[in-house]
Structure 1
C-alpha cells in the first residue's frame, strides 16, 4: 500500500515502531496531491513547505519519545474553519481576504495534538450548496467520476478523502454538508451532536465533523476534537468518552429503517436497493429492523427555507454593491426571496425549525438507531448547484440529512454500495442525541458486515 493510502491508525503504529517517519509520509502525500490536484481542485492554501516544517518538528518529537496523540498524521481543514495566518474566503469572491488572527477551536485542537496541516479544502459560496460550485474556488470534482460533483458544502474534504490526500479531513455540516459529500465520495463522515466539537462561530445546526476512509480514524479525530473550548457558547460539557472503544454487538438492537422522508426527491432505485441490502445485513447480525414512518413535512421545510433566505439575504444585502455582484448567481437568486418576507412569516418559519426538531426526536425515540439513505440520488453533474439546479427548490435532495441538524442528533454516513455506473451510495446511521459513540460503534460494526469495497479512485 502506498504511504498516502495508510490510515491514521496505521501511520501512528508505523511511527511508533520506526518503520515510517512523518517527513517521508508528508512528502509522499504532497507528491500524490501534486499529481491529482490539477484535475480534482480539492484544496485551497495548499502549503507543502509549511507542512514539511511541521513534519520535521513531529519527527523530532517521535525521536525524543515525546510524541503527541496525532503526531505527524496529515490533515486538511475545510476553509471556513479558521487557521491562523490564512484568509477565510467562505467559498465566495465577495469576501475581503484577510489572514485569520487565530485558530478556530477544531484547528487549535488538531494542531495541539501534532497533526500536519497540508492546507484547507474548498467549499461553495457561504457553504450554501450541496455541490462544489463556487465564485472563488475552481470547480472541485469527484475522484470516482470527474464529471460529477463531490457534493458540498464540504466539497474539497470529500474529494480529498476519497483521493487519498492523507487520512484525516474535517468538514462542517448544517444540513448535510459532511454527510452528503462523504456519501457521494464513498468515505465515512460523522455529523456529531451539536456542541460535541467546539466550533467558532456556533449557531443553530452547525457542527464540524471528521471525514475519513475508516471509522477508526474518525474516532481518533473525535478524541482530539471533542476537548472543550470556551469560545463555543453552545458546546457540550466535557465528557469522559472512550472514543476508541468501537466494539458493539448489534444483536437485539431495535433499528428503524426510513425510506420515505415525507418530502423531497424520491429515492432512486439503486440507492433504495443498496440501503435495504444494508438493513438486511443488520437483520442477519441479529438486529430487529422495523419500517419507520416519515415525520418531516413540506410545511416544516418551507418555513425553514423562508427563515434561512431572510438570514442570508440580510448578510448579502449588507455587502457593498461591487462585492454583492460577485456572489454566485444561484445564491443571489435564492436569497432574493428573503426581501419580501415579513416579520410574521419569518417568525412562523423559525417556529417550523423547532417543529422539525420535535418531530425528529419523537420519531427516533422508539429505536436504538435509525438507518436511511444519505441522499435520494447519487452524485450529479459537477457544474450544477444542486440535482434540480433550481434556486426555488434548493432543498429537495437533503430531506434525509437536514432533520438531524435541527434535532442536534448524531448522524453518520458510511458507504453501502455502488450504482451501475460505479458511484458510491451512502447509508446514514442516526443515533439519539449525545450518543455519538454509539453511532461510531454501529458504523464500525457495519464496516465489518458489508461486502468488500472497491479500490479507491485516488
Structure 2
C-alpha cells in the first residue's frame, strides 16, 4: 500500500476511514499538498479552493465519526470536468468566449458525487467547447502531460487525465463524444470507461455524449460507477435504473478464457497507426491469447467518408453556435476552432444532410463488425501523446479528427469502451489499449479490463512532481 495518502485508491481510503486509521481531513490535506507541488507545472485544475475542500472534508469526517457515511465515496477526493455544471460556479466550457454565469444547479454527475459525500477538490480544465483532443484553451492555461510536460495530456478531458496520472486523488469525471475520455486516458496511462449511452445520466444529453470515470485503476472506476450510474430524470436519453453488481468487476484472469476477441489494428480512416503503438497492442493481444481468449483479426469498418461526415456536421454545429455570439466574444475563441467552424459557412443543406447520415452509417457498421465477437481490442489512438502546444496531431483545422477513428465509432454505436495502459514508447510515453463490448455490457468491459490489468506487464511508477530547481522550458 502506498505511504502517501494522496496515492491511495478510493476503496483503500474508505477502508482507512472505516477503521479510523485516517480521516478525510488528513487525506484532503495530503492531496492539496501534492497538488501544490504539481499544479503550476500541469495546469490541470481551475476553481481550486482549499478552504471549501477542507470544509467538505470536515463534514465527511464528522459523518464517519458518527458511523453514518453518505455513500460509497464519502470523504474521497473527486475532480469534475469544467463542462459538468456545479452549483454556484461558472461553466466556461474551456473558452474565453463564454458568459461566466454561475450554474443554477449541479449537473447529474456532480449531484451524485455530493449525494455520496465525495469531496470536490476542483474542476478540471478542457479546450474550447471540448472540440480538441489537446489541452489548448483560450480560457485555461495550457494543460500538460505529467509523463512528459512537453506533451499534451489529450482532450477534451485534459485536466482530468493529467490530474489522475499526477495523483490528485483517485476519482475524476470526464466526458466523451468522440474519444474525449479515452484519448487522454491512453496518453496519460490511466484507466477510463466510456459507458453505454445513457448509463451515466448527463445534462445536457447529446448523441454520442457520455460522462465517465477517469482513474488509475479499474477498481476505482468500478466503485465510481456505483455512484455515477444512478438515475436522473434530466437526462432524456438515460437508461432505466438497473441494479448492476459493479463490485463483481474483479472476475480474475479466468474471465478471458474462451472469450472471442476481435483485434482491430487499422481504423480504416485517418492517420496510420505508428509502429510502437501497433507493437504494444499486438503484445496485449498475445497476453489475451495466453489467458485463454480466442483472438481473431478484424477488418477495418470505418471509412474516411464516415469520419469526414461527422467532422463536417460538428463544424456546422459550431459555425451556427459561433455565429450567434457577438463579434467581440467570437474573437476570443481559439483561432483554430474559428477556422474549423468557419469552413462550414458554404455548406448546403444537402451537404449537411449527407454529413449527418454518416453518424447512422457509422453506427450500423460498428455494430455489424462487432457482432462476431464478445469484445474488441484496438489502439485508443494511432499515436502517443503529441506536443502540448498543438491543437491536434495534424495541427490542421481542415483535418482535425484524423486520430479518432478507433474511438468515435463506439460513441455512435452506444457501446461501452474502455482505455487501459498496455505499454510505453521508447521515450516512456504510455500507450492505450481500447476494450469495447456490446451495448449495455459495461460491467463485462470492466471485468475484461480488470483481467488485462492482472496479466499485463509491470507498470512503471507514476510520474512525480519535478524538483523546484528544475523549470520547464516550452
TM-score, normalized by the shorter chain, greater than 0.5: yes
Give the Cα–Cα distance (whole angstroms) in 2 for the partners of residues 274 and 118 of structure 1.
Answer: 34
The Cα shift of 1:152 comes to 0.3
Q: Which residue in the other structure is 1:162 paired with?
A: 165
RMSD of aligned C-alpha atoms? 0.6
Cα deviation for residue 216 of structure 1 reads: 0.7
1:75 equivalent to 2:85? Answer no
Cα separation, 1, equivalents of 2:304 and 2:77: 42
Aligned residues: 458
1:304 Cα offset (Å): 1.3
Q: Structure 1: which 5+ residue stretches go unaligned? A: none
1:299 aligns with 2:301: no
- Residue 41 of structure 1 and its aligned partner are, at CA, apart by 0.6
- The separation in 2 between residues aligned to 1:41 and 1:327, in whole angstroms, is 19
Residues 378-417 of structure 1 correspond to what in structure 2 (within 5 A)?
378-417=384-423
Instruction: Provide, for residues 66-120 of structure 1, a one-character-per-residue CA deviation record: whole Å limited to 9, x for no partner.
Output: 0122110000000100000110000000001111110000000011000000110
Instruction: Please give the residue correspondences for 1:85-100 in structure 2 after superposition, counting only pairs within 5 Å.
Output: 85-100=88-103
2:300 and 2:332 map into 1 onto residues whose CA distance is 39
State the alpha-carbon separation in 2 of the partners of residues 273 and 96 from structure 1. Answer: 46
Per-residue CA deviations over 1:153-201 (Å, capped at 9, x if unaligned) read 0000000000000000000000000000000000001100000000000
Tell me, what secondary structure is at the counterpart of 1:117?
A: strand
How far apart, in 2, do the equivalents of 1:27 and 1:228 lie?
32
Alignment of 1:177-196 (within 5 A): 177-196=180-199
Matched residue, 2:447: 441
Please give the TM-score of this superposition, normalised by the length of structure 2.
0.96
How many Å separate the matches in 2 of 1:125 and 1:258?
Answer: 31
Equivalent in the alignment of 2:282 = 276
Match of 1:35 in 2: 37
Deviation digits for residues 384-419 of structure 1 (CA, Å, limit 9, x no counterpart) = 001110001011111100110111100000000000
**CA distance in structure 1 between the aligned counterparts of 2:271 and 2:456, rounded to whole angstroms:** 26
**1:308 Cα deviation from its structure 2 partner:** 1.0
Structure 2 residue matching 1:386: 3-state secondary structure: coil
Could you tell me how far apart the structure 1 residues matched to 2:308 and 2:394 are?
17
Could you give the per-residue CA deviations for residues 33-72 of structure 1, whole angstroms, max 9, x where no partner exists? 0111111010010111111000000000000010122110
Partners of 1:216 and 1:316 lie apart in 2 by: 41
Rate the CA distance shift 1:247–1:118 in 2: closer, same or farther, 3 A.
closer
- Deviates further, 292-301 or 119-128: 292-301
State the Cα distance separating 1:8 from its structure 2 match: 0.4
For 1:11-410, list aligned pairs within 5 A: 11-68=13-70, 69-248=72-251, 249-410=255-416
Q: Distance in 2 between matches of 1:386 and 1:302?
A: 15
Report the Cα distance in structure 1 between the residues aligned to 2:407 and 2:142, rounded to whole angstroms: 24
Q: Normalization by structure 1: what TM-score?
A: 0.99
Out of 3, 6, 13, the residue aligned to residue 5 of structure 2 is 3
Distance in 2 separating the partners of 1:148 and 1:262: 26
Deviates more, 1:280-289 or 1:295-304: 295-304
Shift of 1:247: 3.2
Give, in whole Å, the separation in 2 of the partners of 1:304 and 1:163.
Answer: 33
Runs of 4 or more, structure 1, over 4 Å off, are none
Q: CA deviation at 1:314?
A: 0.1
Output the CA distance in 1 between the equivalents of 2:42 and 2:243: 39
Match of 2:248, SS state, is coil
